[in-house]
Structure 1
Amino acid sequence: MNEFQFILKIAVMGMGVAGSYLMARLKNTEHEAVGYERMTEDRHDSICAWGTIKSVLDGFCKKTGRNFDDFLIHNGRNMHVKMNDDVKFDIGLKGLCTYNKLGLIKDFIKDCKIIYGAPPSIEELEKEYDMIVDCTGFHRVYLPKMKEDFFLPTYEYKVEYENGVPYDDFYIEPFPGMSGYFWYFPLGDNFAHIGAGDYNKNHIKATDAFLEKHGGKIVATKGRPIRLATPDRCKPYYSGKVVGVGESIGTVYALLGEGIIPSMQCVEIFLENMHDFKAYEKAVEKHYKVYAKVFNFVRAKIHKDFSFLKALPDFMSIFLYMKKHEDRFGMNIKIADLLKVAKA
């Protein structure tokens, strides 16, 4: 792609976190970008919980002339963790929050050209555009099929509580063997997201059990798979005019199932290397290198092929990485807490 050192006509496919942020970042460049969203405008939605890190999103929003505080819902103080009836503890938070994810997505693209509904075929896109950016997330519609994928099914309710919320802050229950976890994310004004992702497919059962125990009115129901396979397993990143950005190339932190910030970071890496796909691939590999260690750690636990002694070097690498980037993860990282989860 080295020949593209001029104004490009770019199709951005998928208006989720990565696609919408990319459109906002391309808005003030010399390039002509057109966004495509397969849902109709009135049905365009954002699936999965709305948790992120305030300081990091502040930075991304400033790059597009926006104020993240306009979308902030809940500032976390503590995350309540329940491993089982005997093991419960709190993790101090430093920036973990919930925000109006769909509202920010729509704000990112409000001044952009977006075409809703069934998108053109790849052949039609290739005729019209110089570059096609696959931001279709898990579906990876325009990139070649991966040799091997690894994902979790997820399920979630947005719930309204009329008689007070069951928890005043974030709450999670990791499943045995790190196969996934149940989450409760506060959304302010007596609302919350409750849901779960689980490799062993107990996610719906766990979500419904919490709903039955604590009550609440279901306002919305959502479900989708989330890719845990990391970038090193999601090649090719590009093919012909098509290049992947975000979850389509595996930018999810497997230990947390977190994809918002990694996908937006991927947008920045793409913008720095968009004229050279090989350089983009190299930069992605470097940035997400530790993600492969996290994935291997989690997968071994899920498949019951886990030896803590063998995994100790990776465990320490993961701990040191998260400890060094506490502000990025929005919580106080303690080795004792990580050990509790790892040994569950």
Structure 2
Amino acid sequence: MKIAVVGIGVAGAYLMNRLSDDHDNQVVGFERMPQDQHDAVCAWATCENVMAGLAKNCGLNFDDYVLHDGQHMIVDLGSKDSVDIKLRGMVSYDKLRLIQDMIKGTEIKFGRAPRKDELEPDFDIIIDSTGFHRNYLPRVGNEMWIPCVQYKVRYQPGKEPFDDFYLKSFPSMSGYFWYFPLGNGYAHIGAGDFMKNHNHFVDEFLNKYDCEVIKKVGRPVRLTPPASCEPFTDGKKSVGVGESIGTVYPLLGEGIIPSTWCAELFIRNMHDMRAYREAVLEKFKIYSLVFKFIQLKIAGKFRMVRHGMDMLKIYQHMKSEEERYGMEVRMADMLKVSRI
């Protein structure tokens, strides 16, 4: 089969690596950014417990990419109140180098974002892994997204604001500020806020803690879950994988692992789009419940009597998947962070 993979982020790089291993496939990747500007835009925190296996699928050792092994994460709730969450595998890692190593030896055409009608005559399948842009699929109506900004910064030795992961929760769970250590004085700081106040808080943090700004990036993140991002195909040759079909966990805004999982589901079901759709909807079923919870909180419509059972289901899901999320999950912490 002749396969085009458009968008070489987490999902696209994984697909290039795995699909190119099958000599029955002719796989070509397309990335709109030039090769010398290619970057891993979103935050570089993930769970080593899961990523180790996914990297191994690509013939790589995830330990080689870990920059900081988290032990605890402070969630600042304001008014001198906070939650200290014990971490169990959450790390920051060199995301760009992992992507680059995944695509080594594959055919990538950088600096190109071809139109769908340019690709259709030459390819049997066009994989849309363009993330938020969803360039090759029908538009999603009434979707929800959150604007984000992130800086890579460097602090003088001993001048780092925190020695481990730090989050500041915004009111009504509209978003949060993050500080992720990258080792050797480097860190990612950034924020996303549905109310669009994220830039103000990041600017205050940059003014408070002196640092050298290495890079600034910004992008929106889709929170709409897969069940609300259909169709996953255009009914012809294009099919979505990753964030283009909503594989971001809405409570955390985290898409690295879910998008890679989605890429693996596509590989297993690439000859049966109905089976692929069903596998995606089943795998990410809980995301719809989490999305509803976030919408209610932001709108100020969450009521414990009416919606408490939904929150209990979310807690039970995360508690049973502590190894996947890389943190200890406690109901008391969830209630506190949710301001309930």
What is the TM-score with the length of structure 1 in the denominator? Answer: 0.96
What's the counterpart of residue 61 of structure 1?
A: 55
* Correspondence for 1:208 among 182, 194, 203: 203
Residue 83 of structure 1: SS of its match in structure 2?
strand
Mapping for residues 32-51 of structure 1, pairs under 5 Å: 32-51=26-45
What's the counterpart of residue 4 of structure 1?
A: none
* Correspondence for 1:71 among 45, 51, 65: 65
CA distance in 2, matches of 1:22, 1:120: 18
What's the counterpart of residue 283 of structure 1?
A: 279
* Correspondence for 1:165 among 146, 160, 164: 160
1:86-109 Cα distance to aligned partner (Å, 9 max, x none): 321210000000000011111111
1:338 lines up with 2:331 in the alignment: no
What's the counterpart of residue 184 of structure 1?
A: 179
Which has the higher mean CA deviation after the structures are superposed, 233-242 or 300-309? Answer: 300-309
Deviation at 1:262, TM superposition (A): 0.3
1:154-208 Cα distance to aligned partner (Å, 9 max, x none): 0111111014211000000010000000000000000100000000001111111
CA distance in 2, matches of 1:48, 1:238: 25
Deviation at 1:341, TM superposition (A): 1.3
1:322 lines up with 2:318 in the alignment: yes
What's the counterpart of residue 146 of structure 2?
A: 152
CA distance in 1, matches of 2:56, 2:298: 39
CA distance in 1, matches of 2:18, 2:10: 12
1:298-322 Cα distance to aligned partner (Å, 9 max, x none): 1111112221222211101100000
1:174 lines up with 2:169 in the alignment: yes
Mapping for residues 1-344 of structure 1, pairs under 5 Å: 8-29=1-22, 30-163=24-157, 164-239=159-234, 240-343=236-339
One-letter amino acid matched to 1:43: Q
CA distance in 1, matches of 2:12, 2:286: 24
One-letter amino acid matched to 2:169: P
Q: Do the aligned residues in 2 keep the contact of 1:155 with 1:203 (CA within 8 Å)?
A: yes
CA distance in 1, matches of 2:313, 2:83: 23
Unaligned runs of 5+ in 2: none
CA distance in 1, matches of 2:113, 2:255: 24
One-letter amino acid matched to 1:27: S
One-letter amino acid matched to 2:166: Y
Q: Do the aligned residues in 2 keep the contact of 1:148 with 1:233 (CA within 8 Å)?
A: no
Residue 128 of structure 1: SS of its match in structure 2?
coil
Deviation at 1:120, TM superposition (A): 2.4
Residue 343 of structure 1: SS of its match in structure 2?
coil
Deviation at 1:261, TM superposition (A): 0.2
What is the TM-score with the length of structure 2 in the denominator? Answer: 0.98
Deviation at 1:11, TM superposition (A): 0.2
CA distance in 2, matches of 1:40, 1:168: 35
CA distance in 1, matches of 2:228, 2:237: 21
**Share of identical aligned residues, percent?**
49
CA distance in 1, matches of 2:148, 2:39: 16
One-letter amino acid matched to 1:234: C
CA distance in 2, matches of 1:176, 1:271: 40
Deviation at 1:142, TM superposition (A): 0.4
One-letter amino acid matched to 1:156: Q
CA distance in 2, matches of 1:308, 1:41: 50
Aligned residues: 337
Unaligned runs of 5+ in 1: 1-7
One-letter amino acid matched to 2:12: G
